[in-house]
Structure 1
Amino acid sequence: MNTKYIDLIDQTYHFPQEEFTLEGEHLRFHGIDLNQLIAQYGSPLKFTYLPKISDNIQRAKNWFANAIEKNQYKGKYHYCYCTKSSHFQHVLHEALKNDIHIETSSAFDINIVEQLKADGKLTNDTYVICNGFKRDQYVENIGRLINSGHRNCIPIIDNYEEIDLLSDVIEDTFKVGIRIASEEEPKFEFYTSRLGIGYKNIVPFYENQIKDNDKVELKMLHFFINTGIRDNAYYWNEMVKCLKVYVRLKKICPSLDSLNIGGGFPIKNSLAFEYDYQYMIDEILNQITITCAEADVPVPHIFTEFGSFTVGESGGAIYEILYQKQQNDREKWNMIDSSFITTLPDTWAINKRFIMLPINRWKDEYERVLLGGLTCDSDDYYNSEQNMNAIYLPKYKRDKPLYIGFFNTGAYQETIGGYGGLQHCLIPQPKHILIDKDADGNMVTSLFNPQQKAEDLLNILGYGTSGKTVEELEEVKQEAL
């Protein structure tokens, strides 16, 4: 009987895979020596493998180029990165190496855009697509960016008042898009997205607020659904409704020339993951081509807003199994040296699935386990519900350390987890490592941020600033920055 962990994987999945290989009994991820990473930096740690960001952007660009050629599509394609997936400078700098554009969702995003322009990473030719419900500061920042000469900043209208709000702060003419409030999947608690304007109201909205407004030019129709781009009846039904609105608008609005199909490409969450990206893109462009030909209108330029797809597969987290607790005759709890609630919040908030594999001891016997975090919270665990199947790991042995990795965790975890701030039960935030390649293709690592210390948390809580004057508190703040 095959009882080694490597045998279990071989029997269950195709292995090795493009990004996962073995060196002896040690796992490698995109060629990264994870065992050496642990030896150098310790555990727990999180890492970002920067080349994967560029790799995914180029993959998507190639898929769209192939689909444009296959369908003889007359429009252009523009790849936008959703900053909300990860706002970090190292992520934006890597992504912007690939001639892409930016999608924002709140006021401070514009400050990041301005900083990137000051650093020479963005130019006025870069499209900045501004989504989200726009409060005063967001409107003000958008106005400042456009007034500074960034004519390719396109606010996407989310509600009926935003045209007037933007007109008050923007000095010259400006371009806008309109977001469609798509109908949600039947299993949702509500019928229509809270974002955007309903299908039936878009044409009247254009006629009432934009058509005769000399200051505003409608450039784009924006379409996105929460489930992402999936090959199912729900997605194609919403796409057809979107295209009907587009051709109706195009016939009365010559300036409309772009369709933003949003984002939602899935990322790999299992060794058994399968998704035909090229087929989906081919079919989307085919549907657009057919619809526009039947209506006798030109096909639009295509914009996408890929966030998780851009950065998700670049991230990972590594933990050590500290101890095993046998709680009853069936349940063995492997306790990690960190917390799922604080470091991978999506695993407990929405049962998000990530690829989980041991880093070492692949040739040892395996056992079925549950994974528990360090907080005193009953939700701080990772089990078969999140992992799709039962969790099997090499058997716990006190004298043989076991390390495990969670992979493709690069989107949303840091911002949802409150990066740099307080963590549940004051479990410290782990160190964060950046991994890149030098000119010769060799792996280069650097410490982006060390693990939080007690002083960091005490300062946030006010203990380290007790009795200080306003001036002294400002000094503490500046030192922290």
Structure 2
Amino acid sequence: MNTKYIDLINQTFDFPQEEFKIDKSKQLHFHNINTMELVKQFGTPLKFTYLPKISENIQLAKSWFKFSMKKHKYKAKYHYCYCTKSSHFKHVLNEALNNEIHIETSSAIDIDIVENLKNDGKITEKTYILCNGFKRDEYVQKIQGLIQSGHKNCIPIIDNYEEIGLLTSGIRKKINVGIRIASEEEPKFEFYTSRLGIGYKNIVDFYRRDIKENKKVNLKMLHFFINTGIKDNAYYWNELNKCLKVYINLKRICPTLDSLNIGGGFPIKNSLGFDYDYEYMIDEIISQIKLACDEAEVQVPHIFTEFGSYTVGESGGALYKVLYQKKQNDRERWNMINSSFITTLPDSWSINKRFVMLPLNRWDDTYERVLLGGLTCDSDDYYNSEQHMNAIYLPVYKEEKPLYIGFFNTGAYQETIGGYGGLQHCLIPQPKHIIISKNSEGNLEYKVFKEKQTPTDFLKILGYE
């Protein structure tokens, strides 16, 4: 009878997988990183960033677009942009920019990061800086400063009618802009149309009224993004088709328009059963854009993407120790971790996001169904949305045999949403964070980016010291 945890995984999923393997000691390896060795060296709770995965994902996407454009004889260029709000850390940006990519910003401080990267030589005048988001004084002024300094490839994306006047006020240079389409959301949403951008039906009139005769502005880009991401369903293809109609109508009256930004939205692996055909989706998008433009007899646009989670999500992980098991009734076994889900994986409780969750050790032991609880006194500090149909199975808890677990592909948004380095719920400390890279010989190298928060850190923030 197969009652071991490794048997459960082998029976349920195709395992091992490219990034997950088990060694002879029945311990988990992630991208050839021995996770139990990490625990022994750095302790738990522990956050880590595996930088090579960032470059790997960027190069994969570039190769898929290149292949599809060649296949369809698509005579325009592809530009990969990184959506900085997914993770603003310098080590993340440095790794991503090693791959000749571009940047998408969403707030004023993003421009300060851009200037810092320019000073370090990571960004050049050829790097596209696409400025999204709702823009007011500070953001507008910093965008203008970047353009005034000579950065010709800075393209603010117009979010509302007023922004044209704000961006051109007091500026001497002619600026290139894009317009964001306010997409219609899926029926399950509480609102019908995205708050971001300008409605499909209003864009052509907006161009004629505020841009066409405006000597300070060139329209270069149309921006299209679906909140639920790039999915192979009728809703996505219908929205893309509406976007292409707007692009074609604009292109016929606006010769400077030459680029289509299809935003982000590539999903990342959230379970061992994850299945998404990236190559097919890219090929189908390129095919539909080419077909629509050929039928309308307009030139195909340059393609921009703004991949955030796809770029950095699969580079991150969080490791914990199971401290204790509480048996609350005849059925519920609560495995208590030595940290908090609310503070370290905020998406897991705020939007019920799933991550790949696996034990790091004891794969040869029998398993049981459990719930996972965090250290805060908040009833929402738990995790039960894992790959086994909302049930979590882990090796049986034994006090004398410590159990360690890991959450993987956590590299996007968790630090910024969780308030990295600041106050945490119930003052649960932020874990130690390490960066994992490869040297020129291909060997793994480990660097402590930030130590675990201390009581002194909290007391300073709170005004006690």
TM-score by length of 1: 0.96
Moved over 2 A (4+): 384-389
Identity of aligned residues (%): 74
Match of 1:168 in 2: 169
Could you tell me how far 1:70 is from its partner in structure 2? 1.1
Give the conservation status (yes or no) of the 8 Å contact 2:271–2:386: no
**Letter matched to residue 241 of structure 2:** V
Distance 2:384 2:210 in 1: 52
Match of 2:333 in 1: 332
Distance 1:187 1:151 in 2: 41
How many residues matched? 464
Structure 1 pair 192/432, CA: closer, same or farther in 2 (3 Å)? same
Match of 1:89 in 2: 90
Match of 1:246 in 2: 247
Q: How does 1:110-149 map to 2 (within 5 A)?
A: 110-149=111-150
Distance 2:238 2:167 in 1: 33
Give the conservation status (yes or no) of the 8 Å contact 1:353–1:387: no
Encode CA deviations 1:183-233: one digit per residue, 9 max, x unaligned: 001110110000000000000000001000111000000000101100000
Distance 1:251 1:274 in 2: 39
- 1:22 pairs with 2:26: no
Structure 1 pair 91/387, CA: closer, same or farther in 2 (3 Å)? farther
Structure 1 pair 122/338, CA: closer, same or farther in 2 (3 Å)? same
Give the conservation status (yes or no) of the 8 Å contact 1:371–1:381: yes
Give the conservation status (yes or no) of the 8 Å contact 2:271–2:387: no
Could you tell me how far 1:310 is from its partner in structure 2? 0.0
Aligned to 2:98, the other structure's residue is in SS state helix
Distance 2:145 2:212 in 1: 24
Match of 1:209 in 2: 210
Match of 2:399 in 1: 398
Give the conservation status (yes or no) of the 8 Å contact 1:347–1:386: no
Distance 2:21 2:81 in 1: 31
RMSD after superposition = 0.8
Match of 1:476 in 2: none
Aligned to 2:14, the other structure's residue is in SS state coil
Distance 1:388 1:93 in 2: 38
Match of 1:263 in 2: 264
Q: How does 1:56-71 map to 2 (within 5 A)?
A: 56-71=57-72
Structure 1 pair 42/169, CA: closer, same or farther in 2 (3 Å)? farther
Match of 1:8 in 2: 8
Match of 1:283 in 2: 284
Give the conservation status (yes or no) of the 8 Å contact 2:386–2:392: no
Structure 2: runs of 5 or more not aligned: none
- 1:179 pairs with 2:180: yes
Could you tell me how far 1:33 is from its partner in structure 2? 1.1
Aligned to 2:406, the other structure's residue is in SS state strand
Match of 2:44 in 1: 43
Encode CA deviations 1:449-471: one digit per residue, 9 max, x unaligned: 0000000000000001xxxxxxx
Distance 2:386 2:12 in 1: 18
**Letter matched to residue 330 of structure 2:** D
Could you tell me how far 1:171 is from its partner in structure 2? 2.2
- Structure 1 stretch displaced more, 218-227 or 165-174: 165-174
Structure 1 pair 32/286, CA: closer, same or farther in 2 (3 Å)? same
Aligned to 1:322, the other structure's residue is in SS state strand
Encode CA deviations 1:264-309: one digit per residue, 9 max, x unaligned: 0000001000001111111101101111011110000000000000
Match of 1:55 in 2: 56
Structure 1 pair 338/123, CA: closer, same or farther in 2 (3 Å)? same
Could you tell me how far 1:386 is from its partner in structure 2? 7.7
- 1:368 pairs with 2:369: yes
Distance 1:372 1:405 in 2: 14
Give the conservation status (yes or no) of the 8 Å contact 1:46–1:433: yes
Give the conservation status (yes or no) of the 8 Å contact 2:427–2:458: yes
Could you tell me how far 1:388 is from its partner in structure 2? 3.6
Give the conservation status (yes or no) of the 8 Å contact 2:272–2:387: no
**Letter matched to residue 192 of structure 1:** T
Encode CA deviations 1:236-271: one digit per residue, 9 max, x unaligned: 000000000000000000000000000000000010
Could you tell me how far 1:69 is from its partner in structure 2? 1.1
Aligned to 1:400, the other structure's residue is in SS state coil
